[in-house]
Amino acid sequence: MLKMTHLAKAFRTEVVETYALRDFSIHVRTGEFVAVTGPSGSGKTTFLNIAGLLETPTGGSYELDGEDVSRLGDDARSRIRNGKIGFIFQAFNLIPDLNIYDNVDVPLRYRKMSGAERKKRIGEALERVGLSARLRHYPAELSGGQQQRVAIARALAGSPKLLLADEPTGNLDSQMARAVMQLLEEIHRDGATIVMVTHDPELAARAQRNVHVIDGQVVDLGEAPTLRMNVAANA
């Protein structure tokens, strides 16, 4: 599903060149739930931005769903983001001026989907996250956990092939975080490919596979079944 090979991302000024990612290689298979961990400034967000086609790499190659996307133009990247990728952000990133229904509708409208199809998908997505009774509420009228569930509904409504989650529970208390995490696990069980960036080892342990990033490079790949089991036992 996602394959980065010797990927690099450098930020250049006139005097200095800083690498956020260097010789970064990762392969996420379809249906996997991968957690990307690492300390602040390690390059996790840059990886997520490139994986989500929000930024372009300065070197290496990136294949998404079998297509080389590392050299695509802006419009093509927008279309792939809209059609194949669902985002879940730490800060929820709902549009405050739109109600819940319209928020979930945003990416579907960019896809030029028919009104009836959009309505069906929005209904199903909000039903799935348990917020179908709050269609006309605005984000400010919801709790953090509810807002994140709306964001998940927005990501799911487009039936993405890849779900990218950036610290999805970072702004939530533990109870809400647990609910959101359970939701992600359900979504994964239904066949979704999920890549989750987190600095929380407990959350990472609930993923199928962990990828640790330090100084812009992947330093450790491996499954964490024990920890996952422990976390599950504690939940």
Partner 1 sequence: MDIAPIIAALKRQKTAAALIAIEIALSCAIICNVLFLITHRLERSHVPSGVVEDELVYIRTAGIGASGGDDPMVRAREDRAALASIPGVKSATIINQIPFGHSSWNTGVKLAADQQQTSANVGAYYADEHMLDSFGVKLIAGRQFTSDEFLNFDDVLKGKSDPPSSMIITKTLARRLFGDENAIGKNIYLDDTKPTRVIGIVEHLIRPNFGSDLIDADSSMILPVRLSLGYGQFVLRTDPGNRDAVIAAARKKLKEVSPNRIVLDAKTLESARSDYFKQDRVMAGLLVAVVISLLIVTALGIVGLASFWVQRRRRQIGIRRALGATRRQILHYFQTENFLIVTVGIVIGMGAAYAISGWLMHQYELPRLPLYYLPVGAVALWLLGQLSVLAPALRAASVPPATATRTV
Q: Which residues of the chain form contacts with partner 1 (CB under 8 A)?
A: 45, 48-49, 52-55, 74-75, 78-79, 81-83, 87, 89-91, 93, 95-99, 102, 105-107, 109-111, 138, 154, 166
Q: Which two tokens stand for residue 34?
A: 């991968």
Q: Which is nearer to partner 1, 40 or 226 (CB)?
A: 40
Q: Which of 177, 181, 122 is closest to 153 using CA atoms?
A: 122
Residue 167 CB neighbour total at 10 angstroms: 20
Nearest approach in angstroms of CB 42 to partner 1 is 15
Q: Which is nearer to partner 1, 62 or 228 (CB)?
A: 62
Q: Which is nearer to partner 1, 155 or 218 (CB)?
A: 155
> d(Cα 26, Cα 3) in Å, to the nearest integer?
6
Q: Give Cα 135 to chain centroid, integer Å.
A: 23
Q: Which is nearer to partner 1, 1 or 53 (CB)?
A: 53
Q: Which is nearer to partner 1, 90 or 231 (CB)?
A: 90
Nearest approach in angstroms of CB 32 to partner 1 is 21
> d(Cα 152, Cα 72) in Å, to the nearest integer?
27
Q: Which is nearer to partner 1, 34 or 51 (CB)?
A: 51
Q: Give Cα 101 to chain centroid, integer Å.
A: 21
Nearest approach in angstroms of CB 171 to partner 1 is 10
Q: Which of 152, 46, 66 is closest to 104 using CA atoms?
A: 152
Nearest approach in angstroms of CB 109 to partner 1 is 6
Q: Which two tokens stand for residue 206?
A: 């609930």
Overall residue count recorded for the chain in this entry: 235
Residue 75 CB neighbour total at 10 angstroms: 8
Residue 55 CB neighbour total at 10 angstroms: 17
Q: Give Cα 70 to chain centroid, integer Å.
A: 18
* Position 110, amino acid: Y
Nearest approach in angstroms of CB 210 to partner 1 is 21
Nearest approach in angstroms of CB 18 to partner 1 is 16
